[in-house]
């Protein structure tokens, strides 16, 4: 904690010290004019905010034994808690910069990537979610090894590392942009200063604290968006004024099909809506960990429903509104002969609009920028930790087989973290050389890296005949062809023409998004071709790992045949809990409760503390034993300990299946 605080202070000092020396040279990129001394106030607020969030994480982090226990083996949390923790993951703090710029350039069309996920939800809710939940896989590579073989597992590790490294570079780049927008310091100085903080987080901190701080960050990010939205509406004179001054072509939630090569409806739908949405829901380790923490698949579906139907539209507004408001302000200002703000570079749309609608209030501005920067760093921190975890568990332990001490693995993890940060810094250099908006910079890399893997996951889950040979060939060849399409973009044109996504003659096509569909198509074609000429896998090898054998997956999960009989009641609450060794690792329910819930012996039962607001932190899933005498629920001491349940407390019980 002290070391982290020292790192924050050191980084802020670097920024403060760098400012006077660099200001003159960088005045061309500076978008807002902070009053003298204000940079120090903003940076001090940032430092205080960091310390506050770290303290929160330290306090609440003590309640989790470790991340493994919290996320994986839990399977005990209700949907609402999991949904709440998805906010920070779903928004992605860099989103404020990226979508504010897109909102300014394209209007409400910037929401398209947030509002096109529902089309793949049947595949997720009834396919991928039950498969990963019941098979108890902890990561995509693990699924690949069980569904295919070790080769596919390691191919996926390479792809996932590429995906995360790209995100680390992108996040560092956006951190640099955000600080540049506030202080005028160059991207490189900002990024290097932030790397000191991130290094301290990763080296001396832990993931547990990050998990809890993510809950706070989510609230803060929504608050930041709300401040901009409300402040902007007040500045403009109300919602009617906002809508009235927004040009009509900026109001439509869907951009023209293909005339805008950067954000056409056709290429956004196929590239992001299909390939991207599958990647986000099927591949994102952060989301997968959260879905694995829910107490049942039905709770997972509720979390997915709440996330996609309510949180994503809300998030779309929160992250984009600065751009829409900025556009309306510019239009209104032009009509009245005013210039509300100077925006030489739309990268800084969010900071500039925020600064303007807050009437240059340095304290509110500092608080929101602190929330934004802290969330950006939290995202990078999580990504670097994930790289280290994959590097140690999937690569180092596998290829350096001599067992070593935990201290040794920790040292290796730190070296991998440092290497991942270094690669991220190299990517920052790459981003600074690319001429594109943040939206296209993001997808330019992601749509090269993920399509082959997304397709293999999809085919593996939904096509039992798809085998290991086909998966290996498809992943290698699909990735290679997709990479080569950067050199030969004309390969994409026939696919783009087919779905009417190519822009009209005379407009240069931009395949940053659409490359996702191209990658999916070529990988699927190769995979299908190889599958049809090679033997199909033995059914017993893939049982429970495809959508066609979910009953087997449920039986494996439960350790017996599922019982789908409906009871008179869904949950029985207010029962006394008694520690009784006769339970023997099972839960013994009163006969009446068993009848009400239609529970038979060996059915899976969820026992939770009766206080709903504990969110299932004190709960356990166990098979049912014989009916208990009396009216109390009986558990042995070990089961009480496992679920952190306290004897003599009231509990509620529910049949899982």
Partner 1 sequence: MTRPSPWRLTPAAVAVPAVLLAVWGLPRLLVSWLGIEGHWTPFFYQYAMGGIVFGIGLWVIRASRACDDARPGDRAWFAVLILGYLWYAALHAVLTWLAAAVPFKGA
Q: Are 92 and 446 in contact (CB under 8 A)?
A: no
First to last CA, the chain: 44
Q: Minimum CB separation from partner 1 for residue 133, in Å? A: 13
Residue 284 interacts with partner 1 (CB under 8 A): yes or no: no
Residue 177 interacts with partner 1 (CB under 8 A): yes or no: no
Within positions 561 to 590, which residues make up the interface with partner 1, using CB under 8 A? 564, 566
Size of the site for partner 1 (CB under 8 A): 65
φ/ψ of 208, rounded to 5, equals -55, -45
Nearer to partner 1, 68 or 252 (CB): 252
Q: Minimum CB separation from partner 1 for residue 560, in Å? A: 16
Q: Are 56 and 219 in contact (CB under 8 A)?
A: no
Alpha carbon separation from 537 to 453, 525, 541 (Å, rounded)? 19, 19, 7
Nearer to partner 1, 77 or 269 (CB): 269
Residue 547 interacts with partner 1 (CB under 8 A): yes or no: yes
Residue 24 interacts with partner 1 (CB under 8 A): yes or no: no
Q: Minimum CB separation from partner 1 for residue 136, in Å? A: 18
Q: Minimum CB separation from partner 1 for residue 282, in Å? A: 13
Q: Which of 71, 245, 347, 443 binds partner 1 (CB under 8 A)?
A: 245
In the 8-state DSSP scheme, what is residue 139?
S
Closest CA to 654 of 602, 591, 590, 608: 608
Within positions 264 to 283, which residues make up the interface with partner 1, using CB under 8 A? 265-266, 269-270, 273-274
The Cα–Cα gap between 197 and 433 comes to 25
Q: What track of x and - describes contact with partner 1 for positions 434 through 473 (by CB under 8 A)?
A: ----------------------------x--x-x------
Residue 48 interacts with partner 1 (CB under 8 A): yes or no: no
Q: Which of 20, 36, 122, 506 binds partner 1 (CB under 8 A)?
A: 122
Q: Minimum CB separation from partner 1 for residue 502, in Å? A: 11
φ/ψ of 258, rounded to 5, equals -145, 0
Nearer to partner 1, 2 or 538 (CB): 538
Question: Token pair 């209700």 is at which residue?
Answer: 78
Q: Which of 36, 335, 406, 574 binds partner 1 (CB under 8 A)?
A: 335
Q: Which of 56, 60, 126, 409 binds partner 1 (CB under 8 A)?
A: 126
Q: Minimum CB separation from partner 1 for residue 571, in Å? A: 13
Q: Minimum CB separation from partner 1 for residue 469, in Å? A: 9
Nearer to partner 1, 171 or 621 (CB): 621
Nearer to partner 1, 203 or 534 (CB): 534
Nearer to partner 1, 409 or 548 (CB): 548
The Cα–Cα gap between 476 and 643 comes to 44
In the 8-state DSSP scheme, what is residue 33?
-
Rg of the chain over Cα atoms, rounded to whole angstroms, equals 26
Closest CA to 49 of 257, 266, 216, 274: 216
Q: Are 366 and 46 in contact (CB under 8 A)?
A: yes
Instruction: Compute how many other C-beta atoms are within 10 angstroms of the C-beta atom of residue 309.
Output: 12
The Cα–Cα gap between 519 and 448 comes to 8
CB under 8 Å to 637, separation ≥6 — which residues?
579, 581
Half-sphere exposure of 533 (CA within 13 A, CB side): 6
The Cα–Cα gap between 172 and 178 comes to 10
Question: What DSSP element (H or E) covers 634?
Answer: strand 633-635
Residue 529 interacts with partner 1 (CB under 8 A): yes or no: no
The Cα–Cα gap between 356 and 339 comes to 11
Within positions 127 to 156, which residues make up the interface with partner 1, using CB under 8 A? 127, 130
Bridge partners of 606, per DSSP, are 621, 654
Residue 248 interacts with partner 1 (CB under 8 A): yes or no: yes
Residue 320 interacts with partner 1 (CB under 8 A): yes or no: no
Kindly indicate which of the ranges 112-120, 141-149, 286-294, 392-400 contains the residues binding partner 1, using the contact rule CB under 8 A. 112-120
The Cα–Cα gap between 360 and 288 comes to 41
Q: Minimum CB separation from partner 1 for residue 123, in Å? A: 5
Q: Which of 1, 25, 430, 500 binds partner 1 (CB under 8 A)?
A: 500
Q: Which of 1, 21, 219, 309 binds partner 1 (CB under 8 A)?
A: 309
Residue 550 interacts with partner 1 (CB under 8 A): yes or no: yes
Nearer to partner 1, 265 or 485 (CB): 265
Q: Minimum CB separation from partner 1 for residue 474, in Å? A: 17
The Cα–Cα gap between 144 and 142 comes to 5
The Cα–Cα gap between 288 and 304 comes to 11
CB under 8 Å to 633, separation ≥6 — which residues?
575, 576, 577, 578, 587, 588, 589, 590, 593, 607, 651, 653
Residue 252 interacts with partner 1 (CB under 8 A): yes or no: yes
Q: Which of 532, 600, 637, 638 binds partner 1 (CB under 8 A)?
A: 532
Q: Are 326 and 100 in contact (CB under 8 A)?
A: yes
Q: What track of x and - describes contact with partner 1 for positions 72 through 111 (by CB under 8 A)?
A: ------------------------------------x---
Question: Token pair 């099909």 is at which residue?
Answer: 257
Nearer to partner 1, 142 or 551 (CB): 551
Nearer to partner 1, 265 or 351 (CB): 265
Q: Minimum CB separation from partner 1 for residue 550, in Å? A: 5
Positions touching partner 1 (CB under 8 A) are 108, 115-116, 118-123, 125-127, 130, 241, 243-248, 251-259, 265-266, 269-270, 273-274, 298, 301, 305, 308-309, 313, 331-332, 334-335, 462, 465, 467, 498-500, 504, 532, 534-539, 547-548, 550-551, 564, 566
């Amino acid at each position: 904690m002290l070391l982290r605080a020292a790192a924050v202070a050191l980084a802020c000092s670097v920024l403060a010290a760098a400012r006077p020396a660099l200001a003159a040279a960088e005045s061309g990129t500076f978008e807002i004019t902070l009053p003298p001394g204000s940079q120090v106030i903003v940076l001090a607020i940032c430092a205080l905010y960091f310390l506050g969030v770290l303290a929160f994480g330290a306090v609440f982090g003590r309640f989790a034994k470790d991340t493994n226990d919290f996320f994986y083996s839990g399977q005990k949390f209700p949907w609402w808690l999991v949904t709440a923790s998805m906010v920070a993951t779903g928004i992605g703090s860099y989103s404020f910069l990226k979508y504010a710029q897109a909102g300014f350039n394209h209007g409400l069309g910037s929401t398209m990537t947030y509002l096109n996920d529902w089309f793949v939800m049947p595949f997720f809710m009834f396919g991928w979610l039950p498969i990963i939940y019941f098979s108890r896989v902890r990561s995509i590579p693990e699924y690949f090894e069980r569904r295919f073989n070790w080769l596919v597992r390691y191919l996926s590790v390479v792809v996932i590392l590429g995906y995360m490294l790209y995100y680390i570079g992108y996040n560092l780049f956006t951190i640099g942009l955000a600080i540049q927008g506030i202080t005028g310091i160059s991207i490189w100085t900002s990024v290097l200063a932030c790397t000191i903080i991130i290094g301290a987080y990763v080296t001396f901190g832990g993931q547990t604290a990050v998990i809890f701080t993510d809950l706070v960050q989510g609230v803060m990010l929504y608050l930041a968006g709300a401040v901009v939205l409300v402040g902007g509406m007040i500045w403009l004179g109300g919602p009617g004024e906002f809508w009235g001054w927004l040009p009509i072509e900026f109001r439509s939630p869907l951009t023209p099909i293909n005339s805008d090569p950067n954000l056409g409806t056709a290429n956004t739908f196929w590239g992001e809506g299909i390939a991207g949405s599958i990647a986000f829901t099927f591949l994102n380790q952060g989301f997968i960990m959260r879905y694995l923490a829910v107490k049942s698949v039905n709770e997972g579906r509720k979390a997915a429903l709440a996330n996609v139907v309510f949180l994503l539209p809300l998030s779309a507004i929160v992250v984009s509104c600065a751009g829409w408001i900025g556009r309306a302000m510019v239009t209104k200002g032009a009509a009245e002969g005013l210039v509300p703000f100077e925006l030489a570079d739309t990268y800084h749309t969010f900071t500039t609009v925020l600064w303007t609608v807050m009437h240059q209030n340095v304290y509110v501005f500092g608080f929101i920028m602190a929330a934004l920067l802290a969330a950006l760093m939290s995202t990078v921190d999580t990504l670097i930790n994930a790289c280290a975890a994959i590097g140690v568990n999937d690569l180092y332990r596998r290829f350096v087989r001599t067992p070593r001490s935990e201290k040794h693995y920790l040292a290796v993890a730190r070296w991998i973290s440092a290497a991942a940060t270094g690669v991220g810094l190299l990517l920052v250099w790459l981003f600074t050389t690319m001429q594109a908006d943040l939206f296209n910079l993001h997808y330019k890399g992601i749509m090269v890296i993920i399509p082959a893997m997304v397709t293999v996951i999809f085919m593996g889950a939904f096509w039992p005949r798809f085998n290991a040979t086909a998966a290996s060939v498809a992943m290698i060849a699909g990735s290679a062809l997709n990479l080569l399409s950067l050199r030969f973009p004309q390969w994409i044109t026939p696919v783009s023409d087919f779905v009417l996504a190519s822009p009209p003659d005379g407009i240069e096509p931009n395949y940053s998004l659409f490359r996702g569909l191209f990658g999916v198509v070529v990988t699927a074609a190769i995979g299908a071709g190889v599958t049809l000429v090679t033997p199909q896998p033995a059914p017993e090898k893939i049982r429970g790992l495809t959508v066609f054998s979910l009953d087997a997956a449920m039986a494996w999960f439960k350790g017996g045949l599922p019982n789908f009989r409906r009871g008179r009641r869904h949950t029985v609450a207010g029962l006394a809990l008694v520690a009784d060794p006769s339970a023997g690792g099972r839960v013994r329910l009163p006969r009446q409760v068993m009848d009400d819930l239609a529970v038979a012996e060996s059915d899976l039962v969820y026992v939770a503390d009766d206080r709903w607001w504990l969110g299932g932190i004190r709960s356990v899933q166990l098979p049912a034993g014989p009916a208990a005498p009396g009216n109390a629920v009986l558990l042995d001491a070990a089961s009480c300990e496992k679920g952190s349940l306290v004897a003599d407390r009231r509990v509620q019980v529910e049949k899982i299946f």
